[in-house]
Structure formats: structure tokens, C-alpha cells
Amino acid sequence: MATSFDSTLANLGISRTGAATAAKDTAKLGNANMDQGDFLRLMTAQLKNQDPFSPVDNSQMVAQMAQFSSLAGISEMNTTLKAISDRLNGTSPGDAMSWIGRTVLTAGNTAYPRIDGSVGGTIDLAADAANVTVTIEGPNGALLRTVDLGAQSKGAIDFEWDGTTDTGEAAGPGPYTIRVGARNAAGTAVSATPLVWAPVTSVTLGSDGSPVLTLPGLGQVPVSAVRKIG
């Protein structure tokens, strides 16, 4: 027959051997994390089972509570920061729609003229070059104009074409094909990538949520390929 002492221990969920008898505690075996409920249960058990002749020091109890409060605050802050990060990295349909109508600079060799008929672009030069030339061809492949940029250093080089042919006539509405040639002092070809400006006509969201832009003459281009936004 259980004694009154056994009954008291049983009410606390503790056997004579000190093992917890509550079945619900076994569900968390192997769990290395503690939540607020676990902390409160431990603190309550500590208070109930303390030695009445040597109770827990108040300053120690306050320190324990402050430590848990700090950890809980950090955990909540981390959750909030993650939500903010997810929002910044994600793209909503409204964000994607904001690209429509913008003009972007990206790798490509198909260019359309501005309202005044001129064309602007950039050359991404892989190394220093002694001579760089830009040739513009019409829709039928006919050579319209050659722009000599001379010696250029490695990096991004902007170029402009006024939209007229070598004979001074208007080149027409395009589209134009931009070709770049570059050679170093030894006459060896230098890698040069043309970058052209193009309007965004439509936008779709990729599988990762990033916008994919549809550009006239260039097709679908990921946002990561955009160098500048006009």
C-alpha cells in the first residue's frame, strides 16, 4: 500500500527512483530542443522538489528566467529575419509586372533603334585590345555602318550609332544585327561580347520564382542576365 510520501511523489510525476512517470514525457525522448513549455515544467519541478532547508537562490532563479527569455527572443528574431529574407528573395506577380515597359541592357546582337533612329550598346571586352570595331547590319544582312572605336582597355565599353549608313542615309526601322571585332597588338582576336538595350514586352515567373523577361529579338532572358535597367 502506497504511503502518503509515495502519493506526494506520484502527484509530482516522480517515482521513488526519481524517474518521471508521466507518459507524455516519453514522447520527447531524443529531442535535443526545449521549448517554453519544457522550461516551465522544469522550473516548476525544481521549485516543488527543492530542499526546504536549502531552497534555490532567488538570484539563480532570476538568472535562469532571464537566460530563457533571451534565447526565446533570439529565436523569435531569427524567425522574423528569415521571413524578411524570404520576402526579399522572392518575387510576387506584382513585382514581376513592374518590369514590363522597362528597357534593359543584356547580352545579345539584335538591336532596335530609339525614337530618333540611333542605337546604343556596350561591348564587354575580355582583354585589352589595340583595335575594336562595331559593324551594324540590316534585316537582310547588308552592311550599314562600321564604327571604329580604336584601342580600348579591358572591361565595358559604351558605343553609339546615329542610325545612318556609311552614305549618310537613314538606316530604317531595323532590327539590326550588331557584330564586334577586337584584336590585340599581336593581331590575335580578343573575346568581345555585344550588349544591347531592349524593351521588356512580357514577364513570366520561373520555377524558382525569379522573373524571366521576354525581349524583342532576344527571346526569354533571366533577370540575372540583366546588366543595367533603363
Residue 116 located in a structural domain: yes
Omega prior to 93 cis, within 30 of 0 = no
Per the domain annotation, does 41 fall within a domain? no
Q: In this predicted model, what pLDDT tens digit does every residue of 16-29 receive, in sequence order?
A: 544 444 444 555 55
Residue 181 falls inside a structural domain = yes
Q: Quick one: pLDDT at residue 230?
A: 81
Query: Each residue of 147-182: pLDDT tens digit?
Result: 999 999 999 999 999 999 988 899 988 899 999 999
Percentage of residues in the chain having pLDDT higher than 70: 61
Tell me, yes or no, whether 168 lies in a domain.
Answer: yes
d(CA 224, CA 106): 10
Report the CATH number at residue 169: 2.60.40.4070
Task: Answer yes or no: is 83 within a domain.
Answer: no
Number of domains, the chain: 1
Across the range 70-83, mean pLDDT stands at 64
pLDDT over 70 (residue 143): yes
pLDDT, averaged across the chain: 79
Please tell me which residue, 57 or 132, carries the higher pLDDT value.
132
